[in-house]
Amino acid sequence: MDTGLGYFGNEQKRYHTWNHELRNHFGEKVFKVSIDGGFDCPNRDGTVAKGGCTFCSVSGSGDMILAPTEPLVDQFEREVARMHKKWPEVTKYLVYFQNFTNTHAPVEVIRERFEQVLTLPGVVGISIGTRPDCLPPEVVEYLKELNDRFYLWVELGLQTTYEETSDTINRAHDYQTYLDGVASLRAHNIRVCTHLINGLPGETTQMMIENLKRTIQDSDIQGIKLHLMHLMTNTKMVRDYVSGNLTLMEKDDYVTVICDQLEMIPKEIVIHRLTGDAPRETLIGPMWSLKKWEVLNAIDDELARRQTCQGSNNCRKDEPIC
């Protein structure tokens, strides 16, 4: 629980970590197990656009999954076996449908794929990565059913609140669609985690701060993922980089922005991620992001130096909470 001193749980972090949230809810450590559900995206298959987001790799953000082409149950078991090498004592699992848009299919297809893994031993919840323009009423109704049966998160890719940036990266939906998507989920008390990317082409530090502020103030979300813009080989965003329209962030600048953003986020909102993973062999940069724990430690050190914490400049309230 929150200690009241700006620290969370036994980790003594200055922000509300995902690990803390799961331990607090289930009373023990829980694995989040990523799998590829075999879905596509509406801005790849021509439903709303073609080519996909310009930052997206061919695996649709699931580059770190061990065996994405195997049957779902096999994927799950392989990922769990890998995690057990480090944490053999863990017996509870949250299945994460990560790649592409996991509600972009008829609800019968979605149900068939989700239910395959929800009945596996130890599975206590599900997290579903999707887009806000792929939440028709029949899908939301099924998500409501899941929310009644399991611990459920729906992770919505927003990435930016600026329409110009959204057009540049080929998101193919606007900000209002995101707001409507969140509202449709929250009407059924479904937990929502929003994804934002720091370092997108043309966005200044102030725009990154504004993205966070708008998201927190405009939508009723329970979690947030803050990503670093990774530039990957064989993505359309390489053209922005070559033309000079994309500048990769330096580590110190990224840490500063993240700490500024954390200070604005109300302490009840769960911080699912503060950086990201990318395979070394396909990463163009920033190469410093490969040392994930150094980045996270730098964030901890900067918050300690400032003597601040998540919510110290809560953008939903006037009073500080640290």
Is residue 279 pLDDT above 60, yes or no? Answer: yes
pLDDT at 7 exceeding the cut of 80: no
3-state SS class at 29: coil
Give the pLDDT score at 318: 60
Report the side by side order of strands in the sheet with 123-130: 31-35, 93-97, 123-130, 151-159, 191-198, 223-228, 270-273
Q: Which residues pair with 128 in a beta bridge?
A: 97, 154
pLDDT score for 315:
85
Angle of CA points 290, 296, 298, to nearest 5°: 105
- Quick check: is 74 in a domain? yes
Please write the tens of the pLDDT for every residue from 113-143.
999 999 999 999 999 999 999 999 999 999 9
Count of structural domains within the chain: 1
Q: Is residue 55 part of a domain?
A: yes
| Residue at 9 is within a domain | no
pLDDT grade for 64, boundaries at 50, 70 and 90: low
Question: In whole numbers, what is the pLDDT of the chain averaged over residues?
Answer: 92
Q: The CATH number of the domain where 112 resides is what?
A: 3.20.20
User: Is there a domain that residue 322 lies in?
Assistant: no
Q: Average pLDDT of 263-283?
A: 93
CA distances from 132 to 21, 26, 154, 289, 305 (A): 24, 28, 10, 28, 38
Among 238, 143, 229, CA closest to 182: 143
Evaluate whether residue 276 is within a structural domain: yes
Q: Is residue 92 part of a domain?
A: yes
Specify if 12 maps to a domain.
Answer: no
Q: What is the pLDDT of residues 151-204, one digit of tens each?
A: 999 999 999 999 999 999 999 999 999 999 999 999 999 999 999 999 999 999
CA atoms within 13 A on the CB side of 238: 9
Residues sharing a CB contact under 8 Å with residue 149, sequence separation 6 or more, in sequence order = 118
- In this predicted model, what pLDDT tens digit does every residue of 198-252 receive, in sequence order? 999 999 999 999 999 999 999 999 999 999 999 999 899 999 999 998 999 999 9
Q: Give CA–CA dist 56/50, Å, rounded.
A: 12
The pLDDT tens digits of the residues spanning 293-316 come to 999 999 999 999 999 999 999 988
Q: Are strands 231-232 and 283-285 parallel, antiparallel or unpaired?
A: antiparallel
DSSP letters of 197-214? EET-TT--HHHHHHHHHH
**What are 232's strand-pairing partners?**
283
Residue 3 has pLDDT above 50, yes or no: no
Range of the domain at 115: 18-306
In a domain, 320, yes or no: no
Angle formed at CA 282 by CA 277 and CA 285, multiple of 5 degrees: 65
Residue 12's pLDDT band, with cuts at 50, 70 and 90, is confident
Say whether pLDDT at 320 is over 80.
no
Measured between its terminal Cα atoms, the distance across the chain in Å is 15
Q: Does the structure show a pLDDT above 70 at 41?
A: yes
pLDDT digits (tens, 9 = 90+) for 77-99: 999 999 999 999 999 999 999 99
For residue 293, give every residue at least 6 positions away whose Cβ sits within 8 Å of its Cβ, in sequence order, or none: none
Cβ atoms within 10 Å, residue 249: 20
Contacts of 321 (CB under 8 A, 6+ apart): 6, 267, 309, 311, 312, 314
Instruction: Compute the distance between CA of residue 173 and CA of residue 134 in angstroms, rounded to an integer.
Output: 10
Q: Three-state DSSP class for 221?
A: coil
